[in-house]
Structure 1
Amino acid sequence: MRYGAALDLRFPESIGEFVEFLADLGLRHVEIRQGYLDVHPEAPTPRELREIAESTDVTYTFHAPFRDANLGNLNESLREATVRGVTRTLDAALAAGAGAVVVHGGSVPRRYPDRVRAHARQQAVRSLRACARHADDIGTHLCVENQRWKRARVRHTETPERLAAFLDEIDVDSEYLGVTVDVGHAKVTGVDPAAFVERFGDRIRVCHLHDNDGTADQHDVLPAYESVAERVGAEYNVLEMKSLDDVRRCVTG
């Protein structure tokens, strides 16, 4: 099991500085957000990331675009653009030697009529099917994340049952289509992460670790992250914090 943290677009540190910070805490994994690569003035290339990994023994996962990106977009040209964004992240992850790419499953406003919500779900299914086939073609794991329940939007992956039905509908028989369990999203949705473990078992490749008070997705410090991660059993375990100080507080107490 690898432990590390997510390199968010809010962080000004370079990848080298972030890796050094984690190493000082005994952590050896980085989840690289596509948003970070999109905006950081010194964003590394996949080749540079691979060189850093080889020289520091750090491992990577990537997180596909999710800010302003919706694989269930009702507009076909925007849906296709989002698919291209995910497949490019898969290609970058392969070149960097990353172990997986995390992806969100799409959403649609609850206020829309049933027929529109059904169409949005089919858009998301089509999108993930295309992304999963690309992942299979290049041999890179694509892991669909459980998203939290929101009053205003329908997500297709909020509970083990919804996520399982969604993956069944995508219907791509591949060892490279897996699951990311986000324990904070599960908590705010009112689901025990153990329910995801029971349902998906070895398909869970990535675990996102953070806490909240059950009312919102606050990404609070989770000092018991190791015991939580051990119950999930993912290979890659990622602290999703708002600051480096919060990452340090998780590790040092």
Structure 2
Amino acid sequence: MNERVRASCVAQVIRIGEYLQEVGSKAWVNIHAGHIPEQYHKRVTAKAKENMKASLDEIAAAYVGLDTRLLVENDSFEKHITKFGLRPKEIQDILNRHPGFGMTFDIGHAHHSGIPPEWFIERMGRKIEVVHLHDNNGVYDEHLAPGRGSVDFEGILCQLDFCSTYVLEMKTLPDVIAGREFIESLGLMK
């Protein structure tokens, strides 16, 4: 709600894209759409949504001339927080407004939030450019190694055969290694 903070965040996302362009990287920049405490008045929430749209409009305009892609990641549920990128429809609305954006699909976030991953895959399809891999037991956003929670990676990954970039998001190197070994054991990755 603070305009200086909003403008600073937008400037940082733009600067990251410009920097990646300067160094010749074809990488992507990953963002979350934003959030606000749910107890705020509906007028404040509406203003926060307007600010999110204005911020994404500014970022989109700046990224037009860059080789850097901007990806919007689905967020995870948090009690008493309204997240603007939690559900597939919210992400789809952003991507429809900004066709140059893609999506980072975070499997663990979808599972933890109780949103069937298939809903994201069906709605976003090839707009999914990056997949974040981590596990949880559906209660907390634990970032466990795949195979150590209750995510059905085999069922989900076979639907994402068009995607070529996967990121393991664990807290420790041994968990990253264990996660990679588990994913490789499924025999689904090219």
TM-score by length of 1: 0.65
Aligned equivalent of 1:197, options 94, 114, 121: 121
Residues of 2 paired with 1:201 and 1:84: CA distance? 30
1:77 positional shift:
0.8
Aligned equivalent of 2:142, options 212, 218, 240: 218
The CA deviation string for residues 181-240 of structure 1, in whole angstroms up to 9 with x for no partner, is: 000000011112221111011111111000101011000110486774442232210000
Give the gaps of 5 or more residues in structure 2: 183-190
Matched, 1:162 2:90: yes
Residues of 2 paired with 1:228 and 1:198: CA distance? 11
Residues of 1 paired with 2:157 and 2:17: CA distance? 25
Query: Larger relative CO (CA 8 A, sep 6+): 1 or 2?
Result: 1
Residues of 2 paired with 1:235 and 1:100: CA distance? 13
Q: Which amino acid aligns with 2:117?
A: P
Matched with 1:40 is none
Aligned partners of 1:225 and 1:250 also within 8 Å:
no
Q: Which amino acid aligns with 1:125?
A: K
Residues of 1 paired with 2:99 and 2:137: CA distance? 37
Residues of 2 paired with 1:178 and 1:117: CA distance? 25
Residues of 2 paired with 1:111 and 1:166: CA distance? 24
* SS of 2:159 mapped into structure 1: helix
Residues of 1 paired with 2:120 and 2:30: CA distance? 16
Residues of 2 paired with 1:172 and 1:200: CA distance? 13
Matched with 1:245 is 174
Residues of 2 paired with 1:226 and 1:99: CA distance? 27
* SS of 2:64 mapped into structure 1: helix
Stretch moving more, 108-117 or 189-198: 189-198
Superposed, 1:181-192 pairs within 5 Å as 181-192=105-116
* SS of 2:146 mapped into structure 1: coil
* SS of 2:40 mapped into structure 1: coil
Aligned partners of 1:239 and 1:247 also within 8 Å:
yes
Aligned partners of 2:130 and 2:165 also within 8 Å:
yes
Aligned equivalent of 2:164, options 202, 227, 235: 235
Residues of 1 paired with 2:77 and 2:44: CA distance? 19
* SS of 1:149 mapped into structure 2: coil
Residues of 2 paired with 1:245 and 1:144: CA distance? 28
Aligned partners of 1:208 and 1:239 also within 8 Å:
yes
Residues of 2 paired with 1:216 and 1:115: CA distance? 30
Residues of 1 paired with 2:104 and 2:181: CA distance? 25
Give the gaps of 5 or more residues in structure 1: 1-73
Q: Which amino acid aligns with 1:192?
A: P
Residues of 2 paired with 1:127 and 1:190: CA distance? 28
TM-score by length of 2: 0.85
The CA deviation string for residues 14-56 of structure 1, in whole angstroms up to 9 with x for no partner, is: xxxxxxxxxxxxxxxxxxxxxxxxxxxxxxxxxxxxxxxxxxx
